[in-house]
Amino acid sequence: MVLNTTDLATAEPRGVWEACRNGEWDRPTPGVCQENVQANLVVLPLSDAFDFLRFCQRNPKPCPLIEVTDAGDPEPKLTAAGADLRTDLPRYRVYRRDEEVEERTEIRDLWRDDFVAFLLGCSYSFEYALLAAGIPLRHIEAGENVAMYRTNIRCISAGKFAGPMVVSMRPIPARLVSHAVEVTARLPQVHGAPVHVGAPEALGITDLKRPDWDGMTEVRPDEVPVFWACGVTPQAVALEAKPERMITHSPGHMFVTELTNKELTNR
Amino acid sequence: MVLNTTDLATAEPRGVWEACRNGEWDRPTPGVCQENVQANLVVLPLSDAFDFLRFCQRNPKPCPLIEVTDAGDPEPKLTAAGADLRTDLPRYRVYRRDEEVEERTEIRDLWRDDFVAFLLGCSYSFEYALLAAGIPLRHIEAGENVAMYRTNIRCISAGKFAGPMVVSMRPIPARLVSHAVEVTARLPQVHGAPVHVGAPEALGITDLKRPDWDGMTEVRPDEVPVFWACGVTPQAVALEAKPERMITHSPGHMFVTELTNKELTNR
């Protein structure tokens, strides 16, 4: 059976986990389980996990922790009981020190007793909240990626984990910027309020048209570029640290939790 | 030189650290550096630190993390640069597995390269905010401790760390309960909004007059007992876990950070 996003838009998370596990779904997750929080995945060996957890604690805007599993346990019991993080994402990336990156649809045979999984908040939930509040998002209307940039904001380092904050930029109509701040400030678990409004040069971004990760860069005269801390930050930082082994979701192929977008504001 | 609380009420945190270090101050810290955030201290060996950090991440209301130091480093660089956690608190408690508790005024000779220090938010800052918002706090007016109770709320466990949530109770005039919730909800780093309002029996508290930790229990007819998650929780849980070694502040003898109460709402 071949599924499409429409099939999964109103599915239960469990249905998406099973579709991933059975090989029926290996595509990006925007639009899947629209009511549910999706998460970035970072898997690291225990020897790196304490430093990485401290890094996330010190940099909550780019690295909002949704759940951290016990070593060796592939089940995120608190936000997705019954799921298996080795099989229930559509696509993974496996990084080995100084080797090629491998793309996979499951990581069962790679799993180890000392692996710790980090689930980190993702912007899909705050975009859902922005759209629900009547704030238009051009990259979604255009079906493009959001533009992302490395900035001159240094994250606070922890052990080997160090590096700049990555931000995503959304052009917001000037009369709605204040409202966009209010709406996202209520959602600290998915990056929270913007880190910067206007003036890209103050972030060290010399040309807004040339993002470090491709995406929609058009900002119209009545709009302001608004910058949110981005979940690419912890992955970029973890990669720089060259851990002996790291596994992440493949970009855009997130893990679907049982946490709902509505619950985020109540936590 | 003998100092009193009035001498230190408007001191810089640095002055309090030095007074502790020089043996000029070994008394409780309420009223000291009134503008600054005070913190609970828990020091654990690296072998227990990752589990304890996960415990705090899973239970942010009783265990709000202010800072976690790098292993072996006694300086909390992010919230109190220049301080030394081995000497700059007025009093410490040293716990060894199955041995007597030792009370100390410094722990320099006990410090180890594998020690990690956790600074956790404390209720003094939210009490400051409540008083500033015109909400009376009887235990402070009476110069007594706040009453604390073990509850039937189970914390989410992590490794060996498991146990019930401890709450503190403050009687709040019924017409001000809503305002007290609003004021403290803005301060998630110092326990945030109450976990429970009224109905102590629903928390498993059978007799409000008999707290598990002594303090002011009087609730008048026009008042409601309001319960906040309490920073005693992580200490009680850590003690239950019987770590090989644990060092904490002595109750009431907190660490003074350079973070100000005003900054807490801006983080």
**Cα Rg of chain B, angstroms:** 18
Which residues in chain A touch residue B46, judged by CB atoms under 8 angstroms apart? Answer: 50
Nearest C-alpha neighbor of B171 from the set B119, B107, B215: B215
Q: Tell me the count of A-B CB pairs closer than 8 A.
A: 32
Which residues in chain B touch residue A54, judged by CB atoms under 8 angstroms apart? Answer: 53, 68, 70
pLDDT at A162 over 60: yes
Helix residue ranges, H only, A97-231 = 123-132, 138-141, 177-185
Q: Per-residue pLDDT tens for B121-157?
A: 999 888 989 999 999 999 988 888 899 999 999 999 9
**The pairing of beta strand A223-229 with beta strand A196-197:** antiparallel
Sheet strands (E) in chain B: 36-45, 65-68, 92-96, 102-104, 115-121, 147-154, 164-173, 196-197, 223-229, 245-249, 255-260
Residue A4's pLDDT band, with cuts at 50, 70 and 90, is confident
Mean pLDDT of A53-74: 96
Q: Per-residue pLDDT tens for A231-257?
A: 999 888 988 898 999 999 998 899 999
Region label for A169, one of left (φ > 0), alpha (ψ between -120 and 50) or beta (otherwise): beta
Beta-bridged to residue A42, according to DSSP, are A118, A248
CA distance A242 to A46: 14
Q: Which of the two residues, A78 and A214, has the higher pLDDT score? A: A78
Q: Which of the two residues, B95 and B98, has the higher pLDDT score? A: B95
Q: Which pLDDT score, from 0 to 100, does residue A1 have?
A: 58
Residue with tokens 């498991």: B162
Nearest C-alpha neighbor of B86 from the set B247, B252, B244, B253: B247
CB contact under 8 A, B70 and A156: no
B36 CB burial (10 A radius; 0-12, 13-18, 19+): buried
Interface membership of A156 toward B (CB under 8 Å): yes
Q: Which of the two residues, A43 and B186, has the higher pLDDT score? A: A43
Region label for B43, one of left (φ > 0), alpha (ψ between -120 and 50) or beta (otherwise): beta
DSSP for residue A145: P
Q: How many CB atoms lie within 10 A of CB A14?
A: 16
| pLDDT averaged over every residue in chain B | 93
Q: In percent, how much of chain B has pLDDT > 90?
A: 78
Q: Which pLDDT score, from 0 to 100, does residue A97 have?
A: 83
Mean pLDDT of B219-240: 92
Which residues in chain A touch residue B54, judged by CB atoms under 8 angstroms apart? Answer: 53, 68, 70
Lowest mean pLDDT among A110-114, A261-265, B207-211: A261-265
Q: How many CB atoms lie within 10 A of CB A142?
A: 11
Q: Which pLDDT score, from 0 to 100, does residue B1 have?
A: 58
Mean pLDDT of A99-117: 95
Q: Per-residue pLDDT tens for A186-213?
A: 898 899 999 999 999 999 999 999 999 9
Q: pTM of the predicted model, to two decimals?
A: 0.85
Do B45 and A37 form a contact (C-beta atoms < 8 A)? no
CA distance A192 to B80: 26
CA distance B264 to B242: 33
Q: Which pLDDT score, from 0 to 100, does residue A174 have?
A: 93
pLDDT at B27 over 80: yes
pLDDT at B266 over 70: no
Nearest C-alpha neighbor of A111 from the set A141, A145, A85: A85
Angle at B229 between CA B224 and CA B230, to 5 degrees: 110
Q: Which pLDDT score, from 0 to 100, does residue B144 have?
A: 87
pLDDT at A16 over 60: yes
Residue A258's pLDDT band, with cuts at 50, 70 and 90, is very high
Which residue among B53, B156, B188 places its CB closest to the CB of A78? B156
Token digits of residue A266: 């109540």
A162 CB burial (10 A radius; 0-12, 13-18, 19+): middle
Sheet strands (E) in chain A: 36-45, 65-68, 92-96, 102-104, 115-121, 147-154, 164-173, 196-197, 223-229, 245-249, 255-260
Residue A98's pLDDT band, with cuts at 50, 70 and 90, is confident
Beta-bridged to residue B120, according to DSSP, are B40, B65
Mean pLDDT of B160-178: 95
Which residues in chain B touch residue A50, judged by CB atoms under 8 angstroms apart? Answer: 46, 49-50, 53
Q: Which pLDDT score, from 0 to 100, does residue B2 have?
A: 66
- What domains sit in chain A, N to C, each tagged with a CATH number? 5-123+245-264 (3.40.1640.10), 125-234 (3.30.2040.10)
